[in-house]
């Protein structure tokens, strides 16, 4: 057992010492903390003190935070600097964490103590954030099987452990399958149609693999660029097939990292866990912690949006088919043609290519511009920090300060795609805000994206979608960093209902479309000029291009997820694929080839916490569109409205019910019309 002094994972003085963390530190650090936590819990429960906030809840909250502070950099490094050794340690520790969580959640003495606190006079004198933590904890006890007995309780614990391991296996399979395949091209003519940035990216990828020519991978930026611009239909089909067959029984690496059985096993275990707790299905269990009332409400919400958007989506697809036929005689559109002809149609209709905007979004303008937006809305400034250790030379660190110079939050920014880094974009918490001994702990976030790194001597140039992604993740970051709640359990994003957690992130995206904000965010990297009016007009005209097709695609994922967890019988005759095909028949307008195995890489619901919760994206989009409409009425940089949003939403964390917070800000319940209007689908 290593001593504390040599294990950087047990030093909570400040921010993580990434350069000192080694895979072999992980297990000893975790075991040492779990042993300490078990001893502390025993001590608290055996001292025969009357259970209360100071005698039980706060000490346990502090212990949980210690474990979280140790585990956070480990999980983070596993996602951004994945290595064989670290992955092995990470995976080996998951069952230990899961076993500990289950053991705490099923401790009957602890459950009884929390019930006693909730029924006491002291409970009524606590502040709302403290009461919310106690209420959430009681709910979580029930959801973790605290009321089960004997064999059922034991079985529930085993299921939770198995699910944690299966989720990690699912994610590893997708990562391995993504990195195992690439399209290697050696002839210049195979690149026909690709813009300069995509060719450079391909050449760089080939050089990294010590190959001649160009490589196109299944990582987001590379895959999307090729599918959107490559003229060769045959090569697009190859790339598409490899992508949609990742981690499945189909495609170029068929059967090698197949998630099919992982999915079947997870669904059966989720259903069994839900039944043990007395829920009809896993969807009901999942919704117990969310803003939506029940499965019915979610299904009606999704079906209503589908009914309103599918006819337009069908029309958009027919227009695309007709265009492809005229453009180059392509009669029947295949799935690998959609992005390609959509881009051509967009250029034809609006004389607008997304690539035309890229020179206006150099990183050197976008970042300071985004910080200026925050300054105008909330009166805060963002300053770089230079003396903070990071996990990679590309990572930058910043802090957010109030007008009086006091620090509100810090964040790490890791923008570029690289080998060993999980795809996608996300925000995660490194340190949560809390007040202890009169001092406030500065909340710290990880903000991670996968954009193309600078090539040659040009700065990194983002496309508009990437700028939107950056604002989205920064919105999550602000929710975490600007909180004014003093208790970790409900500060920042902690304890926020899952279907409300996307409100601050989607809300931030709106500024990426407004002239006033774009003048701050966007300047041509060579001339320093803002986006010209005619280009901006085209960008706005094209904003809702195919928005109905995008809407039904998201609804397809959400309906598949909800039905999979509400009505699918893992032991029945119908397969997961058949259910997905049924949903597609109902809402989709794009043909999907039989070999496609989308579900096998649908990490959101099998490895990302979105099980029976994918609808949250659309649900929160209704909230964010409606919240932004208040700025449209008063001015997008109206400081008073900014302060109201800051106070009612960003500062409150999970301390209050999200519907109550929304009504406080907007003066009424959310209305779906703003979303339809922003998507160009209003009647």
- pLDDT tens readout for residues 315-337: 999 999 999 999 999 999 999 99
Q: What angle do CA 560, 567, 556 make, to 5 degrees?
A: 10
Q: What is the CATH number of domain 260-351+547-614?
A: 1.10.1370.10
* pLDDT tens sequence across 118-163: 999 999 999 999 999 999 999 999 999 999 999 999 999 999 999 9
Per-residue pLDDT band for 5 (boundaries 50, 70, 90) equals low
CB 204 within 8 Å of CB 172: no
Question: Using one digit for the tens of pLDDT, what is the confidence trace for 347-361?
Answer: 999 888 888 999 999
For residue 294, pLDDT over 90 is answered with yes
Number of other CB atoms surrounding residue 162 within 10 Å: 16
Residues of the chain with CATH 1.10.1370.10: 260-351+547-614
Bridging pattern class, strands 396-401 and 426-431: unpaired
pLDDT at site 608: 86
Would residue 473 show up in a list of annotated catalytic residues for this protein?
yes
CA distances to 74, 106, 160, 272, 539 from 94, rounded to whole Å, are: 11, 18, 11, 21, 46
Strands of the 381-385 sheet, one edge to the other: 381-385, 396-401, 407-416, 444-451, 426-431
pLDDT-based confidence at residue 4 (cuts at 50, 70, 90): very low
Q: Mean pLDDT over residues 191-213, rounded?
A: 96
Predicted confidence band of residue 3 (pLDDT cuts 50, 70, 90):
very low
pLDDT digits (tens, 9 = 90+) for 637-677: 999 999 999 999 999 999 999 999 999 999 999 988 999 99
Residues of the chain with CATH 3.40.390.10: 358-490
CATH number of this structure's domain 358-490, picked from the four choices 3.40.190.10, 3.30.70.20, 2.40.30.10, 3.40.390.10: 3.40.390.10
The model's pLDDT over 524-538, given as tens digits with 9 standing for 90+, comes to: 999 999 999 999 999
Where in the sequence of the chain do the CATH 1.20.1050.40 domains occur?
Answer: 4-147
Q: Write down the catalytic residue from 61, 65, 473, 651.
A: 473
Q: What is the mean pLDDT of residues 500-513?
A: 96
Number of H helices, E strands in the chain: 26, 9
In CATH terms, the fold of domain 4-147 is: Glutathione S-transferase Yfyf (Class Pi); Chain A, domain 2 (1.20.1050)
Q: What is the pLDDT of residue 635?
A: 97
Whether the per-residue pLDDT at 343 is higher than 70: the answer is yes
Residues whose CB is less than 8 angstroms from the CB of residue 332 and which lie 6 or more positions away in sequence, other chains included: 321
Strand partners, 381: 401
pLDDT digits (tens, 9 = 90+) for 618-643: 999 999 999 999 999 999 999 999 99
Structure tokens at 374: 């925050």
Give the C-alpha distances (Å, rounded to integers) separating 35 from 101, 174, 583. 13, 34, 48
Q: Are 23 and 88 in contact (CB under 8 A)?
A: yes
DSSP, collapsed to helix, strand or coil, labels residue 450 as strand
φ, ψ at 584 (rounded to 5°)? -60, -40
Per DSSP, 444 falls in state E
Pairing outcome for strands 381-385 and 407-416: unpaired
Helices (H), 602-657: 603-607, 616-634, 639-645
Quick check: 2 pLDDT over 50?
no
pLDDT for res 683: 63
Mean pLDDT of the chain: 95
Residues 6+ apart with CB under 8 A from 404: none
Q: Is 58 exposed, middle or buried (0-12, 13-18, 19+ CB in 10 A)?
A: middle
CB-based contact 185:202 (threshold 8 Å): yes
CA 82 to chain centre: 18
Tally of CB atoms within 10 A around 518: 22
The pLDDT of residue 1 is 43
What is the average pLDDT across 13-20? 92
Residue 182 clears pLDDT 60, i.e. is over it: yes
């Amino acid at each position: 057992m290593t001593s504390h002094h040599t294990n950087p994972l047990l030093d909570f003085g400040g921010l993580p010492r990434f350069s000192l963390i080694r895979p072999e530190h992980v297990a000893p650090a975790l075991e040492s903390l779990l042993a300490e936590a078990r001893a502390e819990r025993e001590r608290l429960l055996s001292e025969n003190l009357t259970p209360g906030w100071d005698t039980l809840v706060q000490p346990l909250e502090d212990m949980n935070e210690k474990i979280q502070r140790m585990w956070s950099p480990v999980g983070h490094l596993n996602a951004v600097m994945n290595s064989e050794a670290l992955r092995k340690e990470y995976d080996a520790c998951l069952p230990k964490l899961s076993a500990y969580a289950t053991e705490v959640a099923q401790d009957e003495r602890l459950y009884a103590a929390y019930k006693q606190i909730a029924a006491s006079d002291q409970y009524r004198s606590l502040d709302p954030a403290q009461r919310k933590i106690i209420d959430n904890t009681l709910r979580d006890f029930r959801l973790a099987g605290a009321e089960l007995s004997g064999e059922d309780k034991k079985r529930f614990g085993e299921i939770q452990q198995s699910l944690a391991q299966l989720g990690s296996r699912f994610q590893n399979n997708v990562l391995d399958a993504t990195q195992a395949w690439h399209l290697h091209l050696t002839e210049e003519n195979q690149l026909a149609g690709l813009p300069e940035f995509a060719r450079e990216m391909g050449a760089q990828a080939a050089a990294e693999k010590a190959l001649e020519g160009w490589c196109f991978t299944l990582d987001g930026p590379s895959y999307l660029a090729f599918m959107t611009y490559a003229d060769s239909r045959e090569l697009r089909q190859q790339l598409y097939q490899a992508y949609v067959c990742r981690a499945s029984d189909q495609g170029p690496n068929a059967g090698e990292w197949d998630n099919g059985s992982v999915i079947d096993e997870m669904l059966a275990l989720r259903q069994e866990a839900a039944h043990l707790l007395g829920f009809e299905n896993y969807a009901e269990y999942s919704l117990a912690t969310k803003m939506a009332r029940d499965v019915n409400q979610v299904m009606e919400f999704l079906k209503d949006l589908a009914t309103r958007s599918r006819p337009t989506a069908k029309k958009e697809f027919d227009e695309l088919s007709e265009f492809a036929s005229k453009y180059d005689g392509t009669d029947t559109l295949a799935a690998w043609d959609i992005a390609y002809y959509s881009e051509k149609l967009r250029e034809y209709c609006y004389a607008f290519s997304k690539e035309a905007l890229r020179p206006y979004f150099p990183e050197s303008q976008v970042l300071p511009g985004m910080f200026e937006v925050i300054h105008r809305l909330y009166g805060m400034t963002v300053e770089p920090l230079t003396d903070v250790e990071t996990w990679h030379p590309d990572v930058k660190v910043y802090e957010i300060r109030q007008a009086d110079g006091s620090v509100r939050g810090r964040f790490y920014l890791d923008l570029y795609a690289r080998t060993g880094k999980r795809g996608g974009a996300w925000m995660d918490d490194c340190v949560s805000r809390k007040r202890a001994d009169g001092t406030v702990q500065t909340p710290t976030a990880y903000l991670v994206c996968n954009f193309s790194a600078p090539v040659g001597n040009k700065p990194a140039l983002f496309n508009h979608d990437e700028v939107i992604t950056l604002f989205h993740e920064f919105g999550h970051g602000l929710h975490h960093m600007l909180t004014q709640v003093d208790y970790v359990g409900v500060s920042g994003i902690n304890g926020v209902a899952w279907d409300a957690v996307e409100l601050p992130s989607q809300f931030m995206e709106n500024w990426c479309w407004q002239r006033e904000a774009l003048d701050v965010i966007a300047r041509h990297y060579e001339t320093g000029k803002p986006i010209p009016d005619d280009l901006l007009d085209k960008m706005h005209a094209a904003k809702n291009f195919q928005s109905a097709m995008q809407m039904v695609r998201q609804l397809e994922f959400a309906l598949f997820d909800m039905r999979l967890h509400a009505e699918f019988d893992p032991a029945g005759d119908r397969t997961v694929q058949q259910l997905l095909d049924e949903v597609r028949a109902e809402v989709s307008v794009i043909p999907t080839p039989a070999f496609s195995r989308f579900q096998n890489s649908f990490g959101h619901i099998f490895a990302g916490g979105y099980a029976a919760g994918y609808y949250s994206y659309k649900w929160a989009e209704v909230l964010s569109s409606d919240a932004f409409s208040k700025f449209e009425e008063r001015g997008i940089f109206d400081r008073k409205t900014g302060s109201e949003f800051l106070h009612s939403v960003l500062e409150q964390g999970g301390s209050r019910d999200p519907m109550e917070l929304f009504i406080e800000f907007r003066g009424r319940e959310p209305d779906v019309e703003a979303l339809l209007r922003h998507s160009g689908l209003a009647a």
